[in-house]
Structure 1
C-alpha cells in the first residue's frame, strides 16, 4: 500500500511538472514561407551629405549586425525633396531647405553593401524644394536649438511667434523656397538612376519606393502648401498619376502605399472614414485598396505591390509593448490602445478592440483584387515609448521580426533605434534560416518559438522569446517530422542587457551568451530567463520518414535533370510524388513514381527543368493516406535566357525567342506608359520557340515584352 501511494505521488508530481512546462511542436513542412531578408531593416542609416560620410567602423557594424534593408527617404523630408538639386524642405524645422543628396547615399550603399536593399520614394504633393536662400535664420534666433516653435512656417520670410507653438505670427511664402513638381518630375529619378546615361545604379537593389509619406496628415506636417487636407479621392488621383508613370519607366518596381502614419489613420482620412462615390463609408485603407483595384482594372496597369503602414503606439508599459506584434495578424488580440478601428464597421463602436490590420487588409485585397493579387505587407516606421529598458525593447523587436517572418512580411524598418535592437537584429539576421515554418506553443502569450529551416531541411534555428517580465519558463520542444542529429545543440541567449550601455560591437563582440543542450528522444528542453531570447542552432539528419530513404540524388543531363532514389523497408509506401520549386519554398508536383520496386531503386527524369535553380523533394504517400517528405535537393540548370528579342532596336518586325516549359504562354506587349498594346497566346512544346511580331503600327518609343515572370524591353524606331 505504501509503495502504491508513493508511486502515484511521484506520477502526479511528474504530470504536474510536465504540465507546467511550455510545450512546443515544430513542423518543418507546415506554414512554410520564405523569410524576406528585408525585415532586417532600419531608417536613416546613411548620410545624404557628401561632407559627412558614414565612418568605416559604422559600415562594418551594419555588416556585422546583418542590416539588409535601408530606408533612406527621410520620412517627412521626402515629401518636398528635389532630387535634381539635392535639397529638401524640412517641415519639422521651419520648412528650411537643406542639402539632401540621394545620389550620394544610393551610390555609397551600393559600394559598401552591394547585396542590401535601399528604399527611397516619390513626391506626390506637387511641390519640391527650390532654394535655401530664404531659410529662417535659426542660428541667429537661438543657436539652432530645438524649442516648441520648430514647426512654425518661417522659411520664406515668416515672422516668428516667440511664445512657441506651431503657429507663426506670419507664415512664410512657400513660393520663396519651393517649385512646382509633377509626376514627371518625381519619377524621372528612375531614368537618372537606372536609365541610359544615368548613374548606372542597380535597380534590383532599389526596388521598393514609398508613394510619398503619411499623406493622411499633410495638412499638419505640410500645411505650408496643404493648409486644407485634400480629399481622399484627390490623393488617389495624385497616387495614380505617379504610379502609372513609375511603372512605365521601371516595370519591376515595387510600389508601396499608402504609408499611413498610425492606427487612427489606418481607418480614417482626417477625422472620419471615407465616403465613396456610392455613398457608403469605408475605412481609409479599405477605400485605398478598393480604388487601386478599380484603377488597375480600368487601366490594365499594376499600381500597388506592398501595403506599407506606420505604427506609433503610446504605451510605456513593458507588459503592453511586448504584445504589440499581435496588432497586425492576430484576430483575437484585444489592443488596449484601439481607437481608429472602432469605425471599421461604419459608425463608432466602442466595443471593437481587435486590430488584425493586415488580416483585414488581406480580406479587402481578396475582395477587390481577387486571391491572386500578389500584394504583400510591410511596416516602414514604428517605435515604442519604452525608456531605458533594453530587455523589453529586445523582446518587442524580436517578436515583431518573428511575427513578420511567420506571415511573409516584405520589409520592416523601425524609425528609432534603441539599445537592445542591434543585438536582436544580429541574432535574427545572422542565425535564422531562409524558411519560416510552423511552431506552436502551449503558452503563446508568453513564449513564442520563431522557427526557420534551410532549404535542405537539415538545419533549424528556433528563436525562443520569453515575454514574461518576471518568470522563467521551461520549454520542451518536439519534432514530429525532423530528426535531430545525435550531437549537442548550441544556444545563443540575450538576457539581462545593461541599461544605458550599447553591448553590440561586432559579430564576435556582443552580449550573446553561448551554451549547449543535448537532445533526448528527438526532443529538446531549455529554460528561459524572464525577458530573454534564446536561439537554438539545430543540426538534423533529415526529415522523419515512414521508410528508410537510403539515397536521393540529382544530376544534370542533356536538357534534363535525373533524379535517383533508393529505399529499404518501404512500410506500405504506395507512391512517390516528385515536387519541384523555383525558390525552395513553394513546391508543385511534376510527376509520380509508383512504389513497390523489387530492389527499392527508382528514377525520375525532369525533361523540362527551370532555367535557373531547381529545388526537388519527394512526397512519400502511404496506404493510410499519410505522407512525409524527403530532404530538398537543389541544382542549377543554366540554359539560355528564357526570353530574347531581336533585332533591337527594330522598325517593323521583332522576333521573340522563348525557352519555357511546355504549355500555353501569354506574351504581353506594354508601352512606355504602362498600357497593354498587344497580347499573343502561344503554345510551347518545351523546346525553343520563336515568333515574329508586327510592330509597324506602333508609335516610336520603348516597349516591354512580358512572358510569365520574364520581362525584356526593346526600342521601336523610324
Structure 2
C-alpha cells in the first residue's frame, strides 16, 4: 500500500517546533514546561480584556482491575509476525519480527526451480520471473540475517508456473492472440487479458502458463530448502503452510482450477502435501487450511458460502474447518504421525470499508474499533453480512477455533496468518492494531502475521513497538498473560502480562475514545514498586513513543488518566 505524499504548509517557527524525532529514535522524554521568572507582564495602564471562563468539560471515568494470580498463561511470541517483512521499509530497525510469512495468491503457483509465479486474477494471469531479491531463497536469507523464523507456503493447487520470458511480452493465460475480444487488457502488456468477455468467463488451457505437479513437488521443494539451510530443528525453515486460500482457487486461479473446491479435494491434497513436507523435514511445523474468511470456515467452494449444504451434509454436517481437523486427527490415529501442527485461517473484518483501506469516515473509524470484538466477544454480533449469513450468532472467532481444536483435534495450535484492520496510516488504525495484539495474547492465539504492512514509520508499527520495543532498547510487554478487566472494554481496553525476564507487571491500556478518561487501576496478586513507568503513543506525537511522568501506586491502586485516542503502557517493577 502506497501512502500519498502530504504537502504541509506552516510557518517556519511552527515547523521547527513540530519537527518529529526520527522513526527509529528512543522514546521522547515528555518536557515539563513552566513560566519563566523573567517573563514580562502587560502594563497596568492597558485596559484588561474581558475574561471568559469556559465551562469545564466533564471527564469520564472507567476503572480497571488486574489480578496477577489469575488467568495466567504464556503469550506466544509468534503472534507479532508479519507478511513479507523484507519488503516493509524501516521495519528491521523498528522492532524484531519473530515470524515472516511467504504467502498470498502468487505463492500458490510459485515454482522454486525457476523462480517464476503466476499473478492469477490479481493481474491478468501473467507469469512473472521474480527478481533475484524477490526469490524464495532471498526471502529466507533476509529472515536468517534478521533472526526471524520463515513461514513458507507450498503449492497444493496442482499447477506451478513454467519457464517463461522475464520481460514483456509475458506468458499469460488469456492472450489476445487466442482471445481477441476481452473486457480488459494489461496496459503494460497489451497481449494479456483478464479472461472475461462481457459477462462470460473464458476458459484457459492451463499448460499455456503452467506445468502439472503433485505432492512430490512439495517434497522436493522442502528437501531443497533443507539441503540449503538444514532442517527446522537445525535452524532451517520452521513453518510450512498448505497453499493459500484454497476455497477461492476457482476465482483467484480459475485459469488452472475453474471448478469449485470440494471437501474431498481439500482433504486429499492437504494430506498429501502435509505428508510430503513431513517426509522431507519431520521437525518442521505444518499449517492449514489458511483460508480466506467466514465462508471458508464453514463451507467448501462447492457449497457456495452456504447457498447449498450438499457437500457439507455429505461430510457429517460439520463446518469445513471442524471437519478438516477431524480428518487430520483420524490420519494421526491411523498413521501415528501428526501432519497438522497449526489450524490456520485468515481473518479480515467484513464491515464496510474497515479492512485493508484508509482510516475513512468517523463512522468507519468507530466500526473499526468495535469490530475487533468479533475475535473473542460472545455477546458481539458482527456488523456485516456475516451476521445474516450466520443467523446473527456471535462469531468470537479465536474462541471458536479453540473450541473446534479441543473437540476435533486436541493439541493443535491456532494461527491467523493474514489479517488487516485497515487504517494503518492513522492513529485509529494503530488503536485497532494494539487492541488486536492484546486480544491475540489474552486469548492464547499461537501465531499471527499481519498482511499488507505499510512503511514502519506509520502508526500501525508503533502499535507493535508498544509491545516489542517501547523504549528503543527492545524491552517488551510481558510474556505471561494475567487477568485484566475494564468496566468498559469498548472505551478503555486493557491487557496485562508479567514479564519473565525481570518479573515486572506490564499493563497495556487503549483509550478508544477521543477524550481523556480517568481511571483507578486496582491491583491484586502482585507486590510491585511504588511507581510505574509510563509510555504513551498518541496523535500528539505520531512519530514517537513518549515517556511520561511515572505514576505512583497507593497501596493496591494506581489513579491516573489516559489521553484520548492513545495507547499507554504501564510498567510496574517487581519489588
**Do these two structures clear the TM 0.5 threshold for a shared fold by scoring above it?**
yes
Query: What is the rounded CA distance, in whole Å, between the counterparts of 2:280 and 2:337 in structure 1?
Result: 12
Structure 1 moving runs of 4+ over 6 Å: none
Structure 2 residue aligned with 1:81: 110
| 1:483 aligned residue (527, 541, 557) | 527
Structure 1 residue aligned with 2:289: 258
Please say if 1:380 is aligned against 2:417: yes
Secondary structure of residue in 1 paired with 2:393: coil
Structure 1 residues 78 and 181 mapped into 2: Cα distance closer, same or farther (>3 Å)?
Answer: same
Please say if 1:356 is aligned against 2:396: yes
Structure 2 residue aligned with 1:95: 125
Structure 1 residue aligned with 2:44: none
8 A Cα contact 2:206 2:255, kept in partner: yes
Structure 1 residue aligned with 2:360: none
Please say if 1:525 is aligned against 2:559: yes
Secondary structure of residue in 1 paired with 2:418: strand
Structure 1 residue aligned with 2:366: 319
Structure 2 residue aligned with 1:462: 507
| 1:285 aligned residue (303, 321, 339) | 321
TM norm structure 2: 0.76
Structure 1 residues 456 and 223 mapped into 2: Cα distance closer, same or farther (>3 Å)?
Answer: closer
Secondary structure of residue in 2 paired with 1:455: coil
Structure 2 residue aligned with 1:329: 376
Superposed displacement of residue 408, structure 1: 1.9
8 A Cα contact 1:211 1:256, kept in partner: yes
Superposed displacement of residue 405, structure 1: 0.5
8 A Cα contact 2:538 2:565, kept in partner: yes
Structure 1 residues 340 and 131 mapped into 2: Cα distance closer, same or farther (>3 Å)?
Answer: farther
Structure 1 residues 20 and 40 mapped into 2: Cα distance closer, same or farther (>3 Å)?
Answer: same
Query: What is the rounded CA distance, in whole Å, between the counterparts of 1:456 and 1:46 in structure 2?
Result: 29
Superposed displacement of residue 356, structure 1: 1.5
> Over residues 202-234 of structure 1, what are the superposed CA-to-partner deviations in whole Å (9 max), with x where a residue is unaligned?
554632211100000100001011111131111
Superposed displacement of residue 402, structure 1: 0.2
Secondary structure of residue in 2 paired with 1:336: coil
Structure 1 residues 160 and 465 mapped into 2: Cα distance closer, same or farther (>3 Å)?
Answer: farther
Please say if 1:439 is aligned against 2:484: yes
Superposed displacement of residue 360, structure 1: 2.2
Structure 2 residue aligned with 1:559: none
8 A Cα contact 1:134 1:156, kept in partner: no
Structure 2 residue runs without a partner (length 5+): 1-58, 186-193, 354-363, 470-475
Structure 1 residues 248 and 521 mapped into 2: Cα distance closer, same or farther (>3 Å)?
Answer: same
| 1:405 aligned residue (433, 441, 448) | 441
Moved more, 222-231 or 172-181: 172-181
8 A Cα contact 1:382 1:413, kept in partner: yes
Structure 1 residues 264 and 386 mapped into 2: Cα distance closer, same or farther (>3 Å)?
Answer: farther
Superposed displacement of residue 386, structure 1: 3.8
Secondary structure of residue in 2 paired with 1:479: strand
Moved more, 198-207 or 457-466: 198-207
Query: What is the rounded CA distance, in whole Å, between the counterparts of 1:386 and 1:181 in structure 2?
Result: 40
Please say if 1:62 is aligned against 2:92: yes
Superposed displacement of residue 291, structure 1: 2.2
8 A Cα contact 1:466 1:530, kept in partner: yes
Structure 2 residue aligned with 1:39: 79
Superposed displacement of residue 519, structure 1: 1.4
8 A Cα contact 1:267 1:285, kept in partner: yes
8 A Cα contact 2:239 2:285, kept in partner: yes
Return the index of the structure with the highest Cα Rg.
1
Superposed displacement of residue 184, structure 1: 1.3
TM norm structure 1: 0.62
Superposed displacement of residue 456, structure 1: 6.1
Query: What is the rounded CA distance, in whole Å, between the counterparts of 1:156 and 1:298 in structure 2?
Result: 51
Superposed displacement of residue 276, structure 1: 4.9
Query: What is the rounded CA distance, in whole Å, between the counterparts of 1:340 and 1:222 in structure 2?
Result: 29
Structure 2 residue aligned with 1:578: none
> Over residues 386-445 of structure 1, what are the superposed CA-to-partner deviations in whole Å (9 max), with x where a residue is unaligned?
486x11101110011000011221222221225311111111112312211111211122
Structure 1 residues 44 and 254 mapped into 2: Cα distance closer, same or farther (>3 Å)?
Answer: same
Greater strand share, 1 or 2?
Answer: 1
Structure 1 residues 463 and 36 mapped into 2: Cα distance closer, same or farther (>3 Å)?
Answer: same
Secondary structure of residue in 2 paired with 1:82: coil
Secondary structure of residue in 2 paired with 1:227: coil
Superposed displacement of residue 266, structure 1: 1.7
Query: What is the rounded CA distance, in whole Å, between the counterparts of 1:45 and 1:402 in structure 2?
Result: 21
Superposed displacement of residue 253, structure 1: 1.8
Structure 1 residues 274 and 302 mapped into 2: Cα distance closer, same or farther (>3 Å)?
Answer: farther
Query: What is the rounded CA distance, in whole Å, between the counterparts of 1:303 and 1:534 in structure 2?
Result: 41
Query: What is the rounded CA distance, in whole Å, between the counterparts of 2:449 and 2:112 in structure 1?
Result: 23
Secondary structure of residue in 2 paired with 1:323: helix
8 A Cα contact 2:232 2:284, kept in partner: no
Greater helix share, 1 or 2?
Answer: 2
Query: What is the rounded CA distance, in whole Å, between the counterparts of 2:277 and 2:159 in structure 1?
Result: 18
8 A Cα contact 2:517 2:561, kept in partner: yes
Moved more, 170-179 or 314-323: 170-179
| 2:179 aligned residue (145, 159, 167) | 159
Structure 1 residue aligned with 2:32: none
Structure 1 residue runs without a partner (length 5+): 1-18, 48-53, 140-151, 344-348, 505-509, 542-718
Secondary structure of residue in 2 paired with 1:163: coil
Structure 1 residues 215 and 367 mapped into 2: Cα distance closer, same or farther (>3 Å)?
Answer: same
| 1:495 aligned residue (530, 538, 558) | 538
Secondary structure of residue in 2 paired with 1:540: coil
Alignment of 1:44-193 (within 5 A): 44-46=84-86, 58=89, 61-73=91-103, 75-91=104-120, 92-100=122-130, 101-111=135-145, 113-114=146-147, 116-133=148-165, 137=169, 153-154=173-174, 158-159=178-179, 161=181, 163-164=183-184, 166-169=194-197, 172-193=204-225
Q: How many residues align?
A: 475
Superposed displacement of residue 511, structure 1: 4.1
Secondary structure of residue in 2 paired with 1:465: strand
Superposed displacement of residue 525, structure 1: 1.8
Structure 1 residues 398 and 181 mapped into 2: Cα distance closer, same or farther (>3 Å)?
Answer: same
| 1:420 aligned residue (459, 471, 478) | 459
8 A Cα contact 1:107 1:201, kept in partner: no
Query: What is the rounded CA distance, in whole Å, between the counterparts of 1:182 and 1:224 in structure 2?
Result: 18
